Structure 1
Amino acid sequence: MKEEQRDLYSLIINQLVHDGYLNEATKISESTMIPCPIKGEASNKLFSLYQSTISGSGGLGMHSGINRVNSNMDIDDDSSTIGSSGGKNSIEDIINMKECLDFDDPIQQQQLITGSSSTSTTATTTTTSSSSSSSTSDGTTNTTGIITEKVQQQQLQPNFITKFITTHKNACRCAKFSWDGKYVATGSSDTSIKLLDVNKMRNYNQTKNETTEDSAPSRPVIRTFYDHTMPINDLDFHPSAPILSSASKDGTIRFYDYKSSLKRSFKYIQDTHGIRSINFHPCGDLILAGTDHQMIRLYNVNTFQSFTARKINEHHHGPINQVRFSLDGNIFASCSKDNTIKIWDSNNFSLISTLNSPHGGKEPTTVQISRNQKYLLSCGRDSMIKLWEITSGRLIYSINTGVNQSGGQNKNRISATFNYTEDYIITNDEQPSVAVVYNSRTKEQVQKLTGHNNTVRYIAASPVENALMTCSLDHRGRFWTDDTLSLSSNPINNNNNIVNKLDVDI
């Protein structure tokens, strides 16, 4: 559903409640997943807009030309300009925020050559539908002295520090930032989900008080949800509505309204298999689900209707480890325990291509499509992070993390993600309790993130700033921010600065 439609339905629901048609309003609310106000709070705005239109004093002004609104925005809040341009989380703004990862760019080519002398190789690629191919030279492109000088300029590297720690009663398994970066959620083996305010975590310097409740106004943890009966595997935020979705081994996908005080889901999808991975389409009406079954599901979140690929031979042959849409939702990637990665056309749910054994016979565990849709980031139980060119299946480079080099296929799950600018890749390390930051263009190691005392299982990156959430089997989720600016102004005694800024939530 487009944002203009959501705005319209919100006005309709409010008007129906205002005029006393509560049953009709409730039905529309349940079908569209738009909150229904109570009688005394319902708006008469739709009728007012109609009157102004009839009198010729102005049009309806239904916020045309937007991509998505802030996930914490109240549609009925007159102070929020939903249709304003330059929104922090519109697709165009995210793409244009900084130059994308693009090795067709001579500067970025030179950075890769300067940072590493590895040879590009190609995985066995099966293409099942026609797609435009782009040829990229493996040799060095002609570069001027100006380009070489830019490449050699010293880049100010990030310095991530822990600003807040949230603690579950069991392993912290997954995390997700909202589309506008204002919230982050963590999921645990204890079946709970915590919703945290990013700004409060960033600025929280209050001395820890063991008696302070999670839900107190000053606390970064603003809500804890309980409704699953088994561990949480994945989380995702709706791109426009204040809705958090969770996936669990109990076979359900649950939806929570995080603007309400309810700690239970208001809606859920029951599947026949454990849910391993979920991801909202940017439109918000569809959600991908990877399960313990080999077939990927695409659910309509309004009707719960399920879709799968028509051709049986296009499906994976084992449980799905992860599914992820591209930024515009036109394609999505999936990886499976069958040791393959697949690229799909979202518009008709058809297979575009398959990477066979991209991680040397070991299962790939995570996938992510770059903002410009040229590249695919993957990692697997072979301890390798790999960057692929999507159209050709060509391997751009690989990074050996050494996580599972002790022999055999280690039980540790490898996780890797771009930061919001795609300048860096963050992954877990050969030391189980450590996460590592790599330069995405030179492959150089930039920083080790220490502090956990057990295996780091998952890493989530903010879509709007250099902020991370690392999840560990030590029951903790650690929130990290880039302290580069403050360190550059006061580089002395950095370790003490880190300790002083840290707070822990139990």
Structure 2
Amino acid sequence: MIGGASHGDSEVKNRELMYRLMISQLFYDGHQQLAVQLSNIAKAHPACPPSDRLFKVVKLGLDAEEELSGRKRIGEQNIAPGTGIDLEYETDVQSISPEGALYETCYVTAHKGPCRAGAFHSSGKLIATGSEDASIKEVTCLDFHPSHSILASGSTDFSVRFFEYSKPSVKKAYKSIQESVPVRCLSFHPSGDFLLVGVDHPTVRLYDVNTFQCFVGRNPSTHHTLPVSAAKWSPNANLYATGSVDGDIKVWDGVSNLVISTFKKAHDGEEVCSVTFSRNSKYILSSGKDSLVKLWELSTNRCLIVYTGAGMTGKMDQGSQAVFNHTEDYIFFPDENTTSLCCWDSRNAERQRLLALGHNGAVRYIGHSPTGPSFITCSEDFRARFWYRKADTD
């Protein structure tokens, strides 16, 4: 009796999984109406994200069937999920990290002017913040070198400066790059040998960090048409992505410096505020001044998921980044109108509870630690707040 009951429960679970796979495949293939109808019939909860897993399972099954019949010999199929989000084969993944509402402020620091830039070190142990302060020009962007104690900063004074922060008395940059226009964004190559720089000009710059030689794409017709507002290298260093005031997102080959795909009017033509790759370099997460966050699949060059609900009045005035948490289970995005944190399940776009960020002005930068449950917010109220997961209580 016990064995029979267990077998019956297993069959029910397998059928539920089969229906969820069918719904996810329909969403993935663009048949939204059919997917919604089946989801209502099967009472699927939580919501099913778009996924290609059913196709892969069927393919593997057909391959195995051919092998058993002697018509085809295949090797072992080793498909194991890596860290982070991968919608090609996952549909029901339990979150192993806290949602945004479970964080709390554990440290606040004040600048002398609006705080609009920040960065996490890849180790998760260091944070840098930048501001207008009392200096001549504003620091607009920051990034840590992946392997050396070097911090790069971009500014409205037309320069990129490099600081050795391991020296306790460091106050001045040990070297700098002079641009012709204000610097908006920058991103170190995963090796640290190159620096991607976006400025108030449509042409993306790629600098050799050792020689300061500048490289640009050799096909001007594929470049942006307005200033570059966001730039990021992929973790595997094969690609980099840029966003622009012109509303487009471009994906570039990291070796040839050529555009390989363009997402036209990615945010309804509004300025693109941020682009970031997933850990497996299969997806790009973007945010725009249309108050939407989108997940783009690079293998199909399409928007796979739209995360909605932030910005009750639509278009943003200032703009901010959308980020993955450290496990890529959730997506964080600050709501400009309410100064609260919006949080979604990254796989099915289910909205989580809001977190009041406590700032008295728009949040201009948000960054999440790549290694643990912590993030930083920088605001027009001159303050940067460091957030950490709340301790468990009985």
Give the TM interval when normalised to the shorter protein: 0.7 to 0.9
Q: Deviations over 1:131-174 (max 9, x none)?
A: xxxx975989879xxxxxx9496866441111101111111101
Identity of aligned residues (%): 37
> Hey, what does 2:355 align to over in structure 1?
449
> Hey, what does 2:171 align to over in structure 1?
263
Distance 1:157 1:336, change over 3 A: same
> Hey, what does 2:268 align to over in structure 1?
360
Q: Deviations over 1:182-224 (max 9, x none)?
A: 1000011226xxxxxxxxxxxxxxxxxxxxxxxxxxxxxxxxx
Q: Which among 162, 167, 170 is matched to residue 113 of structure 2?
A: 170
Q: How far does residue 314 in structure 1 lie from its aligned partner after superposition?
A: 1.5
Distance 1:262 1:431, change over 3 A: same
> Hey, what does 2:199 align to over in structure 1?
291
Correspondences of 1:381-420 after superposition (within 5 Å): 381-403=289-311, 405-406=312-313, 409-420=315-326
Q: How far does residue 439 in structure 1 lie from its aligned partner after superposition?
A: 1.3
Partner SS for 1:162: strand
Distance 1:359 1:139, change over 3 A: farther
Q: Is the 8 A contact 2:336 2:362 kept in 1?
A: no
Q: Is the 8 A contact 1:383 1:414 kept in 2?
A: no
Q: Count matched residues.
A: 324
Distance 1:165 1:121 in 2: 47
Partner SS for 2:109: strand
Specify the code of the residue in structure 2 equivalent to 1:311.
N
Specify the code of the residue in structure 2 equivalent to 1:185.
A
Q: Which among 208, 211, 229 is matched to residue 321 of structure 1?
A: 229
Distance 1:285 1:397, change over 3 A: same
Partner SS for 1:313: helix
> Hey, what does 1:423 align to over in structure 2?
329
Q: Deviations over 1:219-273 (max 9, x none)?
A: xxxxxxxxx6311111000111101110111110011111111211111110001
Q: Is the 8 A contact 2:22 2:54 kept in 1?
A: no
Q: Which among 237, 245, 255 is matched to residue 152 of structure 2?
A: 245
Following TM superposition, the consecutive aligned residue runs of length 4 or more in structure 1 with deviations greater than 3 angstroms are 109-114, 117-122, 135-143, 150-158
Q: How far does residue 482 in structure 1 lie from its aligned partner after superposition?
A: 1.5
Distance 1:467 1:136, change over 3 A: closer
Partner SS for 1:446: coil
Q: Is the 8 A contact 1:379 1:386 kept in 2?
A: yes
> Hey, what does 1:340 align to over in structure 2?
248
> Hey, what does 2:377 align to over in structure 1?
470
Correspondences of 1:472-491 after superposition (within 5 Å): 472-483=379-390, 486-487=391-392, 490-491=393-394
Correspondences of 1:78-227 after superposition (within 5 Å): 110=20, 120=30, 137=52, 151=92, 157-158=98-99, 159-190=102-133
> Hey, what does 1:303 align to over in structure 2?
211
Q: Is the 8 A contact 2:322 2:366 kept in 1?
A: yes
CA RMSD of aligned residues (A): 3.0
Q: Is the 8 A contact 1:454 1:474 kept in 2?
A: yes
Q: Is the 8 A contact 2:97 2:373 kept in 1?
A: no
Q: Is the 8 A contact 1:121 1:395 kept in 2?
A: no
Q: Show structure 1 runs of 5+ residues with no match.
A: 1-105, 123-134, 144-149, 192-227, 492-506
Q: How far does residue 328 in structure 1 lie from its aligned partner after superposition?
A: 2.0
Q: Is the 8 A contact 1:187 1:232 kept in 2?
A: yes
Q: Is the 8 A contact 1:435 1:456 kept in 2?
A: no
Q: Show structure 2 runs of 5+ residues with no match.
A: 1-15, 33-49, 59-90
Distance 1:429 1:245, change over 3 A: same
